[in-house]
Amino acid sequence: MRLLVFGATGQVATELRRQAPEATFLGRAEVDLSDPAACAAAVAASDVDGVINAAAWTAVDRAEAEEEAARLVNADAPASIARAASARGVPLVHISTDYVFDGTGTRPWRPDDPTGPLGAYGRTKLAGEKGVRDAGGAHAILRTSWVFSAHGANFVKTMLRLADSRDRLSVVADQVGGPTPAAAIAEACLTVVHALAADPSKSGTWHFAGAPDTSWAGFAREIFRQAGRQVTVEEIPTSAWPTPARRPLNSRLDCSATEAAFGLSRPDWRAHLTDVLRELGALP
């Protein structure tokens, strides 16, 4: 299957390069997602059988001050990509986020639950979802959460960096979700785009996140345990760590429909964490 991937150096795009090196990857140097027309033109000019959008504005706090710039990348560009893919009759897999929900309650969010983003990032990602749906083509919106890998900026690398100079860290304990390895997301994207090409009726919104659910504090403890770092994790509430953008407390995602439709089980993030730490040279 000939694939066009938007994104080149992000966490998921990097893993897609490993798993599908024959795909065509469009980084910012080739196509800037702040130019939706250029994104559509790239799809129209391609000779591919499927498209994956693995690029996004992910600077959550910066989006609060630069919402229109984030909207171009997270909403307008995906909508343009989706319309161009629909016109060509090829399926699109678009990665979205748990931030489209308001984070209330403790029950895992189902794909058809009411949305209610708390900030600019979530609003722009939700608008992107609508643009993809409205394009009318074969599509899968794949919501995920707490992405980590050996590449880019993420929680695992931040914790390891802080552990180099500290033996005690305060980490938020009242936000709960599923850490999700970028490698597993990449594999899921490839599975889904192939499935959509064979059966466009599987179009829709799907959830894919790592298991088991944990807090950021729990995630940190497992990082330090596996890395052999003697760091004490002090649990704090979100209110003790104010940020420009509000974070959802409940980021649990119900992935049962995704497993039933595509055979994709929730990846065990603890096992993938071992792989990431090994790649980073951080195992004891």
Report the chain's terminal Cα–Cα distance, integer Å. 40
Structure tokens at 185: 């997301």
Whether the Cβ atoms of residue 4 and residue 50 lie closer than 8 Å to each other: yes
* Number of CB atoms found within 10 A of residue 269's CB: 25
Structure tokens at 58: 């992910």
Please enumerate in sequence order all residues whose Cβ is within 8 A of that of 30, keeping only pairs 6 or more positions apart, or say none.
8, 42
Say which of 6, 25, 101, 121 is annotated catalytic.
Answer: 121
Distance separating alpha carbons of residues 212 and 129, to the nearest angstrom: 26
Is 121 one of the catalytic residues?
yes
3-state helix, strand, coil in the chain (%, to 5): 45, 20, 35
**Catalytically annotated residues:** 121
